[in-house]
């Protein structure tokens, strides 16, 4: 049997940076880092219990970036603004809902490699 | 409804490094990086479908490091050798089992902060 979860929700934000001009681009080149910092700071300010915000290496969905994945649900988002982050914070991390307009499905690609 | 998972199993290995002498230590100072590289390379060599191996920032269980967490199950392991990694690869990532002797439970600490 699996133990109780250590974190209720565990978000991983890709902050990988590739050189300028790389054909896949990268989340950092698309502006991930300040949005990740903002999400981490606001989660702390709001005192949202049981939520951990982590940076991660390349999540391999570079073309759709910046991206994050929230576990254990396995919900993927892309995001481009502080307003997007505020909506993920409020609707998902605080209230347990989904931000449908930002969600990525497997069919949004690219096909996972392995 | 949640979409199908993009990755069947998604492992995050802390590779955070703190300065020598920090009271909590860090996973990199405890030897995480070569073990993470080995896990990533062996997963690719074995062609394990649907598994992604990622580096992550501090997972906040530094005292127990090196640590990884595998989602969506939320199973935590600590590991200290290539043999430990081989066992996680074979028993968990390939066969879907658990490596009980390396598993961390919430009560192993430290208490999560938020």
pLDDT tens digits, residue range B29-57? Answer: 999 999 999 999 999 999 999 999 999 99
Q: Provide, as residue numbers in chain A, all residues whose Cβ is less than 8 Å from the Cβ of B36.
A: none
Strand arrangement of the beta sheet that strand A51-56 belongs to: A103-104, A75-78, A67-71, A9-14, A51-56, B51-56, B9-14, B67-71, B75-78, B103-104
Size of interface A-B (CB pairs under 8 A): 102
- CA B56-A74-B60 angle, to 5 degrees, is 30
- DSSP 8-state assignment for residue A111: P
Whole-complex ipTM:
0.95
* Chain A interface mutation, best of B45, B49, B74, B99, highest count of A Cβ atoms under 10 Å: B74
Q: Please give the Cα distance from A33 to A7 (Å, whole number).
A: 22
pLDDT tens profile B67-96: 999 999 999 999 999 999 999 999 999 999
Helices (H), chain A: 32-46, 82-87
pLDDT tens profile A9-62: 999 999 999 999 999 999 999 999 999 999 999 999 999 999 999 999 999 999
Q: Provide, as residue numbers in chain B, all residues whose Cβ is less than 8 Å from the Cβ of A69.
A: 6, 10
List the domains of chain B with CATH numbers: 12-99 (3.40.30.10)
Per-residue model confidence (pLDDT) at position B68: 98
pTM metric for this prediction: 0.96
Residue A67 has pLDDT above 70, yes or no: yes
Nearest C-alpha neighbor of B12 from the set B67, B78, B80? B67
Q: Please give the Cα distance from A18 to B80 (Å, whole number).
A: 30
Per-residue model confidence (pLDDT) at position A2: 78
Distance of CA B56 to the CA centre of its chain: 9
Per-residue model confidence (pLDDT) at position B114: 59
Tell me if A74 and B47 make a contact (CB, 8 A cut-off).
Answer: no
Q: Please give the Cα distance from B58 to B34 (Å, whole number).
A: 17
Residue A6 has pLDDT above 80, yes or no: yes
Q: Please give the Cα distance from B20 to B25 (Å, whole number).
A: 7
Per-residue model confidence (pLDDT) at position B1: 66
């Amino acid at each position: 049997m699996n133990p109780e979860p250590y974190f209720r929700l565990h978000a991983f934000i890709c902050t990988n940076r590739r050189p300028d001009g790389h054909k896949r681009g990268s989340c950092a080149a698309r502006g991930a880092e300040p949005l990740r910092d903002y999400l981490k700071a606001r989660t702390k300010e709001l005192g949202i219990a049981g939520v951990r915000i982590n940076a991660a290496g390349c999540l391999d969905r570079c073309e759709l970036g910046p991206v994050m994945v929230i576990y254990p649900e396995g919900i993927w988002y892309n995001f481009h603004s502080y307003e997007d982050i505020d909506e993920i914070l409020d609707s998902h991390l605080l209230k347990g809902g989904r931000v449908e307009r930002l969600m990525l499905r497997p069919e949004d690609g690219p096909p996972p490699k392995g």
